[in-house]
């Protein structure tokens, strides 16, 4: 249920970016988004956790990295990259995040992954490639068994 809610919220996020990015400065939009996220996260931190300054200070590097690079830079680049693109194509590209993170972990961190993980990544990649093929090519690959194929 949590994964479905997350997927729904990311699709709403992509549509909101598609709506507002041509109308506003993308970097300002990202800064506002970053600030709102920080405020909401802080409220939930105090509502659901019992933080103490020593714990926060000991985790400062991880907090700053995830806050600035993962959220700030990542979402700013997403907004800039998505500007002017079709939201459907953008969502397909963004769904490759797990594939790219697995490949990056393999290259940079020398992580090992199971055959199950490799097959899952290949299936995601293949599904995205197939979904972007023109109708004629898709029918040649998959056959013409379906007459009313709306791709």
User: DSSP character for 123?
Assistant: H
Which range marks the domain in which residue 70 is found?
1-85
Strands (E), the chain: none
pLDDT of 43-60, one tens digit each?
Answer: 999 999 988 889 889 999
Would residue 14 count as lying in a domain? yes
Do 24 and 65 belong to one domain?
A: yes
Do 73 and 100 belong to one domain?
A: no
**Straight-line distance from the first to the last Cα atom of the chain, in angstroms, rounded to the nearest whole number:** 28
Q: Of the residues 85, 117, 140, which one is the last residue of a structural domain?
A: 85
Closest CA to 68 of 31, 20, 25: 31
* pTM exceeds 0.85, yes or no: no
pLDDT of 61-104, one tens digit each?
Answer: 998 888 888 778 888 888 888 887 888 888 888 888 888 888 88
């Amino acid at each position: 249920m949590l994964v479905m809610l997350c997927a729904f919220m990311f699709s709403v996020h992509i549509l909101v970016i598609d709506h507002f990015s041509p109308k506003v400065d993308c970097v300002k939009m990202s800064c506002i988004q970053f600030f709102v996220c920080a405020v909401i996260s802080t409220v939930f931190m105090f509502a659901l956790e019992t933080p103490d300054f020593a714990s926060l200070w000991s985790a400062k590097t991880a907090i700053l990295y995830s806050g600035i690079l993962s959220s700030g830079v990542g979402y700013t680049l997403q907004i800039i990259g998505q500007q002017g693109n079709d939201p459907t194509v953008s969502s397909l590209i963004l769904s490759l995040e797990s594939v790219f993170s697995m490949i990056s972990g393999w290259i940079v961190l020398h992580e090992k992954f199971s055959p199950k993980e490799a097959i899952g990544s290949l299936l995601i990649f293949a599904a995205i490639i197939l979904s972007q093929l023109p109708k004629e090519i898709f029918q040649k690959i998959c056959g013409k068994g379906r007459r009313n194929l709306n791709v």
